[in-house]
Chain A
């Protein structure tokens, strides 16, 4: 109950300090494998943004935008994982990856493992740089269950 109270409090007394500073921005990458891979091998960006959106899609997204809103939740989870790591954040990210990632066709030999990592993108001087800030332990890939 105490925890719930502290989760509720910022809703009832909000700070409203939107975009106070432009912080490093997270990207979630994932990989599926049945045999161990090298550190940098096999990573895919989760939900890469499209090159462009049509006017119709923009209008539709005013009313129906579940995937994007879920991606914003992933941004929050990634930031939480860096500031205050909890099992909840890790489980939530794995849940989404299991739901949306498709197994390769045909399925590789042996059981598949799923792993994710977080890349934080920032500006340093005039350069945009990326750094790997978190790599999860692999878990058995269960797909949409």
Chain B
């Protein structure tokens, strides 16, 4: 994937992800609703490729307003990834040379890789995760399961142990997928499925769309830095 194609794909995907996020704020009122309406307009401009630099700048300003308004992220990790993609995309496009554009977009790809690897590493060093106990706790008493019925899964220790290790192994070996493009595409499909399952079980729908918006940066980065090692 070329850098320009990766930029454009990221613009389209982040615009769609932000549209989904912003639409939910149309239920609010007053200034909050008005600012998210402006965000929707900037997303539409970005989506259709009209005044993209200006649209990105508007989205960056609104991202600062949101941090102030909610005194941090509104939606935890998905807002952090939203900020990272938006700021990297905007800064990269404002850079005067190709070298710095590649450095900044490469940083986004690097962070995406870390997002899987570090999540896996913190689990694999924790005995509660290794035994499957942590995932049982998530289903038993955390605020995340979307329905009471799902809490029953906490009584299926072998199933949750297997699910835990499937996630841990995927996350810790994810960086190896950079060695081959076909492998990377397969790993990103598994990653998207993982986020989809989190949306189904825990209602984390924003993660699906925003993590997928970072995938083009990694597809470009893999070709640019690694090619096909094997």
Please report the C-alpha to C-alpha distance between residue A92 and residue B72 in the assembled complex, in whole angstroms.
13
B92 interface residue (CB < 8 Å to A): no
- Give the A-B pair count, Cβ closer than 8 A: 133
Q: Is the interface of A mostly helix, strand, loop or mixed?
A: mixed
**A51, B204: Cα distance in complex, Å:** 18
A16 to B114, Cβ gap below 8 A? yes
Pairwise interchain contact A123-B140, C-beta atoms closer than 8 A: yes
Is the pair B74, A123 in contact by a Cβ cutoff of 8 Å? no
- B99 an interface residue at 8 Å Cβ cutoff? no
The segment out of B1-9, B121-129, B217-225 that lies at the interface is: B121-129
A65 at the B interface (CB under 8 A)? yes
Q: Contact residue range for chain A?
A: 35 or more
CB pair B67–A50 under 8 Å, yes or no, is no
Residue of A nearest to B115 (CB): A16
CA distance A121 to B142 in the complex (A): 8
Cβ of A135 under 8 Å from chain B: no
Q: Which residues of A contact B140 (CB under 8 A)?
A: 123, 128
A58 CB → nearest B CB, Å:
6
Given contacts A20-B126, A72-B203, contact A25 B71 (CB under 8 A): no
Contact A76 B76 (CB under 8 A): yes
Known: A8-B67, A50-B147. A14 touches B203 (CB 8 A): no
